[in-house]
Amino acid sequence: MASMRKNPKVTNVQTVARSHVFNVESMDVEFSNGTKRTYERLNPKGNGAVLIVPMLDDDTVLMIYEFSAGTECYELGLTKGKIDKGETPIEAASRELKEEIGYGANKFTFLKTITLAPGYQSNTTHIVLAENLYEEIAEGDEPEPLEIVSHKLSNLDQLTYDEDLTEARSILALYMVREIIRNR
C-alpha cells in the first residue's frame, strides 16, 4: 500500500542562535491539512559524526571512558567523532580509531545512519564496525588521554545496565554488532 504521507511545506528557516558547535533554527511548517506551526531545531555545523565499534576478536570490543560535558562525568562509550569536510564516514572512522584508541582496522563495515532526536535535531551518526585491528597511533584533538577498556559482547546484557554506559548510540551499536557476529 502506498504511503499517504505528504511532507509539509517548510518556509522561513532562520538562525535564532549560534555557537561554535550548534546552530539553533526556527522554521515555519504548513501541513497538508492547512495547520501551521513554528518549530525550532538544532542544526549543527558539519557533516555528521561516526561511531565506531572496534572489535579485537568476535567477542571483545574496545570502549573508552571520556568526559561528557552534558552529564558532567566520565561516560563509557564507543569511539566517535565528527566527519571532517571531504571525508567519508569510513575515512572518518579510520582516523578516529587511530586518534582515540591507537588502532587501525583492515576491515570496516558501514552498518546504519541514525538520528538521536529527530524531532528537534538534524544531526546524524554513521555506525561503523571495525575489525582486524592493528596498532597505529595518530595525534588527535582529545584534551587528555582516553581510558581504553575491553568488554565482551557475550556479557552485553549485563553491560547495558552498567551505570557508566548511558549513551543510547553506543548501546544500539553494540547490540547491532552482536547480532551481526552471531549470524555469521
Domain ranges of the chain: 9-42, 49-182
Residue 120 confidence (pLDDT) above 90: no
Main-chain dihedrals φ then ψ at residue 119, nearest 5 degrees: -65, -25
| 38-42, 99-103, 107-111: range with lowest mean pLDDT | 38-42
Q: Which of the four pLDDT bands, split at 50, 70 and 90, describes residue 7?
A: very high
Residue 106 has what pLDDT? 98
Q: Compute CA distances 51 → 40, 66, 79, 127, 175, whole Å.
A: 26, 14, 6, 5, 13
Under DSSP, the state recorded for 85 is T
Please name the fold of domain 49-182. Answer: Nucleoside Triphosphate Pyrophosphohydrolase (3.90.79)
Q: Are 173 and 165 in contact (CB under 8 A)?
A: no
Closest CA to 103 of 116, 114, 94, 115: 94
Residue 10 confidence (pLDDT) above 90: yes
Residues 150-180: pLDDT tens digits? Answer: 999 999 999 999 999 999 999 999 999 999 9
Cell of 58: 568476535
Residue 1 confidence (pLDDT) above 80: no
| Residues above pLDDT 70, as percent of the chain | 98
| Residues above pLDDT 90, as percent of the chain | 83
Residue 132 has what pLDDT? 98
- Quickly count: other Cβ atoms within 10 Å of residue 130's Cβ: 27
The mean predicted confidence, pLDDT, of the chain is: 94
Its pTM stands at 0.90
Residue 20 confidence (pLDDT) above 90: no
What DSSP element (H or E) covers 156?
Answer: helix 156-159
Residue 46 has what pLDDT? 80
Distance in angstroms between the alpha carbons of the first and the last residue of the chain: 33
Collapsed DSSP state (helix, strand, coil) of residue 78: coil
Residue 109 has what pLDDT? 98
Burial class (CB within 10 angstroms; exposed 0-12, middle 13-18, buried 19+) of 61: buried
